[in-house]
Structures are given as C-alpha cells and as structure tokens.
Amino acid sequence: MQGLQRRPSGVYVARVTVPPGLRSVLRRRELIQSTGTTVRAVAVVVASEVLARWRRQLHELGRLVVTNAPMDAAELLKIADGSPVLRAGGHMRLVAAGAVSGLGVDYLLRKAADGALGMFWRAAGVDGHLVPVEALEIDDPATGRRIVPHPAQMPAVALATRAVGVHEVPASDVREVAGQLLSDAGPVAIAALDAPGRPGWMFAPDVGLLLDRHHVEVLAAQVSALQAVVASTIDAAALKAAKAAQRVEGRGVVQVGGKWAVKRFSEAVELYCASPAGLPESVASATERGQRRKGLMLFSEFMGDPLLGKVDGDMLRAFRDGPLKLVPANANHLPKSIRQATMPATVEALNADGRAWPVLRPAMQAERMQWLVRLFRWLHEKDYLAMNLAAGLRGEKGITRSQFKAQQREDLGDDARGPFTPCELMAILSTPTYRTGNGEHVTKRNERWRPFEYWLPMLGLFSGLRIREACQLWLDDVVQRDGIWCLDINETTPDKSLKTLDSRRLLPLHDVLIEAGFVQWCDALRAAGYRRLFAELTFSAGDAAYAKEAKRAMSAMLLKLGMPRDGKKVFHSLRHNANDALARVSDAAGMDEHMRRFARYQLMGHSVGDDVNARNYTSASIAEKAALIAGMKFDIPVIHPFDIEAGLVAVRAALENKMGARRGREDMGPAA
C-alpha cells in the first residue's frame, strides 16, 4: 500500500511527502503518523483513513496556493481565527470577502465554479421584467438554461418592474460567470437573475447587465464556512509555528496596546471599509469608498503590510516622503505594458521605461495621507488601538511652505473658489443659449449644442447643485412633494455618488426654473422614452462620472467670456452664488434666523455641525424650504424659455454621435 511503511520495530506508519509548494506553509517536508499496530491488515485500515484526510488537506491547501493568495504566518492565522466581518452575516462584496477571510478572490471564485458558493448582484432601481422560468424557452437541456427575450418580446405573463435589493446569479450560470472572472477576461454579461422572494421567477433587466469582480457579492456565512474548512486543513504544527512567528514579530508592539495591535494593516483597512461604523458611516458613495480603500492599501503594498503595533510616525513619514511621491497619476490609464499587478511593480516598470511619467500631485499625496490619519484616529476612537499612531503627523504637510502656497494657487479647493460677480453672471446668462432657448447660434459643422448647456448653469445657480449631482439626475428624481416640484438628490442607482451623507436632500425648484420650462422638458423626455435628465451625457468610470463632458463645455464657455482657466471661476462658483443668495434671504415663511440657517444648510447639503438639537430634533418643511428658495434674488437678464423640440433633436443627435455599442443609447452607468 502506497504511503504505508514498516519501522524496524515492526510498527507500521502512514507517511506522505508534502509537495514543494506547500512546504513553506506547513514548515514540514513530510507528514508521518504511527498506526499503533504491527498487524499489516489493521495498519492498512488505519493508514487509509489518515492518508485520505491528509490528501484532502493538501488538496485544499494546494488549490489555495494556486490562487497566489499569500500564505505566510499572518494569512494562516487570519484563516484559522476567522473574521468578525464574516460572522456578522449578510451579503458582502466578493473582493472584501476574499481579503478579510484570507482565502483570496480567486479561491472564492473557484469554489463558486465548484458550486460551493453562491454569487449575487445588488440592484438599485434597475428597470426590467419579472418572468416565470417556465415561460422562457429552454436553450440548453443539460444545464436548464433558458433564452431571455428582448424586453419588447417578453411573454404576456411578464411583469414590468424596477428592481431593488440582492438578486442571485442562477445556478446554471454561476460556473460560467466564475470561470470568466477567474480568467480576467473582463466583465461578464448576464441576461437574467433569480428574483428574490419569487421562487421560479427571474428578473431580466431591460439593459444588458455586466458583472465584474467588484460588483459581485457573496454570502458572508458561506465564506465563513469555506474558511472553516480550510482552517481544518492547516496542520497543528504549522499553526503553532505561525503563532510563534507572530509573537516574535509582535515583540515591541506591547507598549502600543489594544485588541488589534498584532493585526496586519491590510486587515484593519478591510474591516474599516466594511464595518457600518467605519468608513461607510462618513462616506456614502460605494465608488468613493473603493477609491479610499485602494489609496490606503498603497501603504501596505510599499511598507510590507506591517502589524498595526509596529506602525509609528516615522514609518508613516517614510511612506509619505518616499514611495508615495513615486505613485503615478492616472495609474488606471497607463499602457498595459507598464501597468503591473501591484503598485511597487508598476513603479519599477515606469522607472525601467525611461520616459517621464507624471506622478500624483502634492494635493493628491496629502489627501492619501489624510486617509491614513483618519484610519488610525478611528482605530483609536474604537479602542482597537490604545493610542493614535498617526497623532504625530497632525499639522505636517510633507512639503515646503513655498510648495504649499504654489499648490494652493494651482489647486484651489471648492471652498476656496469664489462666486461669480454680478457682471460675470450677467455675461453667462446673456449668451445666445439663454437669448434663444436653443442652439440656433451654433452654425459650424464641427460644433453642436446640447440641452445640458442650458440647464446645468441654471441648476447650479438656482438649486446650488454640484456639477456631478446635477449631471447624474434621473427623471424619477424630479418629483412633487406637498404640491411643490422638487429635485430628489439621492444614490438610489449604481451610477450615482454623493459627496457625504448630508448631500442627500430634497430641493424645491425655483420659479425661474419652472418658468423656463424645466418640468415640461422632463415630461417630454419621459414621453420620448428617456430615463435620465441629461441622456446626452456619457458615463465615464473615473471620478467625473457623467460630468466630464459638462465640465469641459463649461470651461470652454467661461474662456470665451474672458475668464481664464486658473481654477478660480468654475461651475462650483454658481453653488457659492446660490449659498450667498440663500444667506441674504431675511424673511421666509416666518422662519427665524436660526431656522433659515438650518434650512440653508440642508438645501446646500452641508452638515449642521455637532449641535445635537439641530442634527436630530430640527426639521424644515418643504414649504419652508420652498419659501427660502423663492427668496433667492439675482440681477440677471430675461431668460428665454427652453425650446423643447430643439432639445429633443439635440439629444437624439448626441446619442447618434456616440461610437460602437453606445450609439443611439443613453448611458446608465455601471448598471448598463
């Protein structure tokens, strides 16, 4: 029998050689266990059980190592100890589950392909149809896969709906989806998902759905169960060695104290980004949280993922003054020949390339250091660490005084930008667009006029919207509340992102917007089959989202009016004009000064501060807010009402001007 050996003493032992790739994990070259008998027949039975268990363990560990998941002492302990995030249950992002479990994303995808892990997608206001499975024609009898027809050809029993909540990828599709995501071939197209709460029904989105690693979710309980299985395969000697290694590395961090002093930095980041009491409490946008996580992980990549208790001010300064200054700007847009799997490797490739590549601007570097400072402050405030390890960096900018002043001049923040002067406002609202309400003034064949050029400055001035908030509006966000037309600023669809939780708000429409035909324009767009207010704008995956084209158009218009591109006068300046006008309203619906200030903060999407009474017990009605909005006064020319027919023609022309699969279609962001 292979794996059974007889010792000189006559006792039989079970023996198996550890594969070379697992020897660093188990810290052993072979596994040996006595059968306790000299009788071969009995030894065969005992050894068979032992060898079968070992081979299962080696198989699981081998699959884990194949996924390139780091299997050092810290990762072994992460797997063995379990994760509080996983124990909390519920659904979570696949990438977060791979990190906090220690198993890695590739391993989880392999288990999904094996049928051991379900895959889910979270819908947030996506239009589609509910249809019973038996009403769909069978495509593949072997897998049970069905043919999902075009939205216009749905069976009579199908129900039009707008999906919300978590939908499961059908079991017949999981293997293929997981396999494509493992191959890194790009997003996977999904035609339909299981309808939650409706056994035997499916949800088919009207617009094709694309899933990637960052949008797939899994059940924390299933990941925790997989983690427990892998943990059971870890040899006791290897686990003991890992704990000893952690104790050795943890020497010198005792003085820091705290429950997480011997946790890895990367694990703390994952918990901070996933915990409801962590980053999600202050950053509402999932997209922005992903960017923060990526920025925080730069420290782990360059500094070797230290134990938290090993981090101090000197290590943070070394990162700030060294590797952080080498991180390239717009790393996602680097050529594929240079972009590597890790940032240190990418930096090496850039250095080897020899060309001069732009790096993160000082303002961006300072922002990433602030993210680190906030992380360590949170760890201290939550009693995970006995002291704030980044406290010593308070007030340090990492650049000289002259560099800081130059940075301020070059990169004026939103709060540093001033409002447009009355003369500048007069010039903006006296352009041909506002004299005619259409694009008749555009006569050059290589130029075109689009409705957002008319409405965006108006929304900035009379509603105080940020440009991204305005560009991402859906027609469903134009609503009536208590008989008053309002804008509902929200994040109910995946393509929307708000700056803070306070940014969610209801904004009554100013009379100037209504008189210009804003509500009628929205009705016309709905009748034409559009779903977004600015269907002509294209979605981009960067921070600008829908606002990229609008920012360029605004900048070009201001330049034509004689305002240089120095960052001092931009779209955001209109928001300053709106805030100043609201502050000057002295009488609105009988509100006193305190209530007017509170209502203004709400209308602008600003925090009311730490005043518990104002934050939790004060509220302004829609009518009171509408009265405050109505009190806004500007010295502006007469504005011609918007030409709806010309607007519809312009939208259709803009959509037909798109390239490839986007031609003729309005973008729906990540949901498309």
pLDDT of residue 72: 56
pLDDT of residue 427: 94
Q: Are 292 and 364 in contact (CB under 8 A)?
A: no
pLDDT of residue 255: 47
Q: Is the pLDDT of residue 597 over 60?
A: yes
* Mean pLDDT of all residues in 569-593: 87
Considering only residues 518 and 252, tell me which one the structure prediction assigns the higher pLDDT: 518
Burial of 547 (0-12, 13-18, 19+ CB in 10 A): buried
Please name the amino acid found at residue 630.
Answer: A
Q: Is the pLDDT of residue 98 over 70?
A: yes
Q: Is the pLDDT of residue 405 over 60?
A: no
* Mean pLDDT of all residues in 165-182: 87
Structural Rg of the chain based on CA atoms: 30
| Distance from C-alpha of 130 to C-alpha of 154, rounded to nearest angstrom | 10
pLDDT of residue 26: 58
Domain residue extents for the chain: 4-66, 77-222, 261-266+280-409, 420-571+636-671
Task: Show Cβ contacts of residue 611 under 8 Å, excluding neighbours closer than 6 positions.
Answer: none
Collapsing DSSP to helix, strand or coil, 118 comes out as coil
Pairing of strands 193-194, 201-205: antiparallel
Tokens 């194949």 sit on residue: 66
List, as one string, the DSSP characters of 491-520: --STT---SSGGG-EEEEPPHHHHHTTHHH
User: pLDDT confidence of 396, banded at 50, 70, 90?
Assistant: low
pLDDT of residue 607: 73
Number of separate helices (H) and strands (E) present in the chain: 28, 16
Q: Are 509 and 486 in contact (CB under 8 A)?
A: yes
Q: Is the pLDDT of residue 258 over 60?
A: yes
* Mean pLDDT of all residues in 39-66: 74
pLDDT of residue 535: 93
Q: Is the pLDDT of residue 360 over 50?
A: yes
pLDDT of residue 227: 85
| Distance from C-alpha of 480 to C-alpha of 317, rounded to nearest angstrom | 53
Q: Are 598 and 608 in contact (CB under 8 A)?
A: yes
User: pLDDT confidence of 68, banded at 50, 70, 90?
Assistant: very low
User: pLDDT confidence of 358, banded at 50, 70, 90?
Assistant: confident
For 301-310, the pLDDT digits (tens) are 888 888 888 8
Q: Strands, DSSP E only, in 412-538?
A: 478-481, 484-489, 505-508
pLDDT of residue 589: 62
Model-level pTM greater than 0.75?
A: no
Considering only residues 68 and 4, tell me which one the structure prediction assigns the higher pLDDT: 4
The 8-class DSSP code of residue 326 comes to G
Q: Is the pLDDT of residue 452 over 70?
A: yes
Task: Show Cβ contacts of residue 214 under 8 Å, excluding neighbours closer than 6 positions.
Answer: 93, 94, 95, 290
For 456-515, the pLDDT digits (tens) are 999 999 999 999 999 999 999 999 999 999 999 998 888 888 877 788 999 999 999 999
3-state SS string over 350-378?
Answer: HHHHCCCCCECCHHHHHHHHHHHHHHHHH
| Distance from C-alpha of 166 to C-alpha of 183, rounded to nearest angstrom | 25
What is the residue-averaged pLDDT of the chain?
82
* Mean pLDDT of all residues in 150-168: 87
Q: Kindly report which listed range (83-87, 155-159, 565-569, 627-631) carries the lowest average pLDDT score.
A: 83-87
Q: Is the pLDDT of residue 672 over 50?
A: no
Tokens 């405030």 sit on residue: 381
Q: Which one of 5-9, 105-109, 359-363, 626-630 scores highest in mean pLDDT?
A: 626-630
Q: Kindly report which listed range (45-49, 57-61, 435-439, 486-490) carries the lowest average pLDDT score.
A: 57-61
